[in-house]
Amino acid sequence: MRATIYHNPRCSKSREALAIVEASGAEVTIVEYLKTPPSAEDLARLYKRAGMTARDGLRLAEPDAKALKDANEEDILAAMAANPILIERPLVETAKGVRLGRPPEKVREIL
């Protein structure tokens, strides 16, 4: 099985999700999304596969998220692509789907 994790190594939840994916034996591709941000189109695809909206994937704890309070999906996706700290992490994708690892154990659903 192959898995891709959109990962922030400084985040404990992201590290926990990565450990779960690695322990499953999956071949893991790690994307440090702060260094290599996904495009708005990639984010839209990921959220659609996860059954989420962009707003669901918005990291509300970030000060810049407040400016997106009344934004539409397209504007939120554009803001996330331009300022990837706004992306809630970790996102894990496998052939079985996409999950936001909050809590990290949710990624088991797609392993």
Count of domains in the chain? 1
Give residue 77's domain range: 2-110
CB 77 within 8 A of CB 40: yes
Residues 78-103: tens digit of each pLDDT: 999 999 999 999 999 999 999 999 99
User: Confidence class of residue 12 from pLDDT cuts 50, 70 and 90?
Assistant: very high
Q: Which residues pair with 30 in a beta bridge?
A: 5
Which tens digits make up the pLDDT trace of 40-76?
A: 999 999 999 999 999 999 999 999 999 999 999 999 9
Q: Quick check: is 75 catalytic?
A: no
Which pTM was predicted? 0.94
Among the options 4, 10, 11, 61, which is catalytic?
11
CATH number at residue 54: 3.40.30.10
